[in-house]
Structure 1
């Protein structure tokens, strides 16, 4: 079945955005959610939510639904037979892995995507144990400073700081799982110097390495365009990152995957009820540790009420939401996709009874 049709709009919003400030952000996860709901169905659903929750808030957010006393409302919303089941998609990015993946991608880009992916996974999985908590945080902080656009010092300062940390970790990890990756990073200093010099000379790139919004929008468009080349019409909450040039970049990025035309309409979330079906990476989600399967399911539902919901990790495997797999880690694509089986939009008319 074609997931997005020419006369349908996909409403989108993000949660957990800290811009380039990833390691020191408020949450461990960046989430980008999208729904395919008619406006009248979404409005009727929100009227029902207000009736059940009885909050005077004009704009409902995740914390309204995540309170234990409203568990039954959450299950009604997300369960098979509920208003959004089969019409929602959530893309989750682990921020720490995103930093590691982007660092490896910049410094070790030798044309072999598989090797770079393996290096990033090795660092992410073995680094915290091999480096210790302090060493791991030092590495993430130095990598973040190397990649981010803004720096409080000259272009060489982030390079010096990063390779000072890498050299220290190499001395302390002579024969560990990560030592070979550290050796390759240490040899990539000229690449890092070129990167900082280029930013100093030409200014910020169109797509900053450390901003997760644009890659998740690309993934969202690919999801909803699967099954047909028709246009994908996005209704997205206003974001400073979504300039005309970057929206054009998204359209170019999805074209090789067979996606059709991408059309945009930017709105204020409070003025389009569909955009308020946003994901959450709020403090109520487990923090300061990589999200487990239960974390990801909680973003979209629960094993109990979404038995048909699946979580597909980036290596392509699909895991039923009801099965246990604590400690699941992301791989190359540095994200989990949380989705439910697609349903025909006509079925929405029967969802609110």
Structure 2
């Protein structure tokens, strides 16, 4: 593609579309409860190549690190606080041209588990909010880890036995609570869990239930086409993004009314737009994680808020400070 149009706008035989450069931060594959991060972030920017290059140059000029490739961690260092604030500020280079979809990993595990076993999305939010106080910190951690093992493709031991053993133990510790009520329902779903695991005998699924990247890409496309305008994505190259999965992304977008014109993979260091998306994803993940863990920085949270997708995936009100609208799950 070529053209000298406004930021992010490209033309073609089918008419103008918006080109969005994307990257993620916090990916641990399907290991959502035992990885290094508790938040997953997927960012998109509509900057032109020239604008993105100018932004990266300015960041390098201000930070003056000898590193060949800059990452979000450079901007998150306290000594570079002014550069971070400049990047996110309303007068900064990406304001109005960048969005980020955030996902609290622990809630994503609960949501996918309850969705698979009970087909009842509302109960996921109830269990997430009631589980920790009902089971205690150790019990809640045991439940999350057992649920994560049950759903992931690669696992240790017998994840079905471990999950239902954990459910049986925990439901007896807090009788009469909402958490216990939902665990009583889960206790009766073992045949469905076994059927899910048996499905892996024919090989791993094309779309792993627990991998957050693929639905996040679909959501990013939706964020940039609220009026039905065609969107084309340029994404950092990843092993997860095989041609078959890219086709799934396109078909899922089509079925939900998103006009995704296509998707192209690039090496991040070769596209400054993707580098800027990488900066935003890493910054947003860290600010969100700090907020969720009670060590948030009010000034940085306020600067990030205009960029955050209001349909980010959160489990409780701790995320409220990050969102422009009501908490969603």
Q: Please tell me whether the aligned partners of residues 139 and 165 of structure 1 are also in contact (alpha carbons under 8 angstroms).
A: yes
Alignment-derived partner of residue 119 in structure 1: 123
1:178-198 Cα deviation digits (max 9, x unpaired) = 121111101111100111111
Alignment-derived partner of residue 275 in structure 2: 276
Q: Please tell me whether the aligned partners of residues 26 and 285 of structure 2 are also in contact (alpha carbons under 8 angstroms).
A: no
Q: Please tell me whether the aligned partners of residues 29 and 291 of structure 1 are also in contact (alpha carbons under 8 angstroms).
A: no
Alignment-derived partner of residue 158 in structure 1: 159
Distance 2:40 2:257 in 1: 26
Q: CA deviation at 1:325?
A: 7.8
Q: CA deviation at 1:171?
A: 1.3
Distance 2:241 2:98 in 1: 22
Aligned to 2:100, what secondary structure does the other structure show?
strand
1:211 and 2:211 equivalent? yes
Q: CA deviation at 1:229?
A: 3.9
The 1:205/1:329 distance shift into structure 2, 3 A limit, reads: farther
Q: Please tell me whether the aligned partners of residues 10 and 233 of structure 1 are also in contact (alpha carbons under 8 angstroms).
A: yes
Alignment-derived partner of residue 228 in structure 2: 228
Which aligned pairs between 1:279-290 and structure 2 lie closer than 5 A?
279-280=281-282, 285=287, 290=292
Q: Please tell me whether the aligned partners of residues 52 and 73 of structure 1 are also in contact (alpha carbons under 8 angstroms).
A: yes
Q: CA deviation at 1:77?
A: 1.4
Name the Cα RMSD after superposition: 3.0
The 1:239/1:22 distance shift into structure 2, 3 A limit, reads: same
Distance 2:326 2:132 in 1: 13
1:173 and 2:177 equivalent? no
Distance 1:163 1:288 in 2: 33
Aligned to 2:238, what secondary structure does the other structure show?
coil
Q: Report the structure, 1 or 2, having the larger helix content.
A: 2
Alignment-derived partner of residue 256 in structure 2: 257
The 1:76/1:41 distance shift into structure 2, 3 A limit, reads: same
Q: Please tell me whether the aligned partners of residues 16 and 29 of structure 1 are also in contact (alpha carbons under 8 angstroms).
A: yes
Q: CA deviation at 1:287?
A: 5.0
1:301-328 Cα deviation digits (max 9, x unpaired) = 542x568556625599xx9x9x9589x9
Alignment-derived partner of residue 192 in structure 2: 191
Distance 1:283 1:253 in 2: 26
1:242-292 Cα deviation digits (max 9, x unpaired) = 111111111111113322243111111111111111111699557598467
1:129 alignment partner, one of 126, 133, 141: 133
Aligned residues: 310
Distance 1:70 1:45 in 2: 15
Alignment-derived partner of residue 342 in structure 1: none
Distance 1:130 1:240 in 2: 39
The 1:286/1:257 distance shift into structure 2, 3 A limit, reads: closer
Q: Please tell me whether the aligned partners of residues 42 and 216 of structure 2 are also in contact (alpha carbons under 8 angstroms).
A: yes
- Show structure 2 runs of 5+ residues with no match: 1-7, 11-15
The 1:37/1:59 distance shift into structure 2, 3 A limit, reads: same
Q: CA deviation at 1:9?
A: 1.9
Distance 1:194 1:313 in 2: 31
The 1:209/1:324 distance shift into structure 2, 3 A limit, reads: closer
Alignment-derived partner of residue 72 in structure 1: 82
Aligned to 2:193, what secondary structure does the other structure show?
helix
2:99 alignment partner, one of 89, 101, 104: 89
Q: Please tell me whether the aligned partners of residues 102 and 209 of structure 1 are also in contact (alpha carbons under 8 angstroms).
A: yes
Distance 1:241 1:18 in 2: 12
Aligned to 2:60, what secondary structure does the other structure show?
helix
2:20 alignment partner, one of 10, 26, 30: 10
Distance 1:75 1:58 in 2: 23
- Show structure 1 runs of 5+ residues with no match: 110-115, 333-353
Alignment-derived partner of residue 55 in structure 1: 65
The 1:331/1:292 distance shift into structure 2, 3 A limit, reads: farther
Distance 1:324 1:133 in 2: 24
What TM-score does the superposition give when structure 1 sets the normalisation length? 0.79
Q: CA deviation at 1:31?
A: 0.5
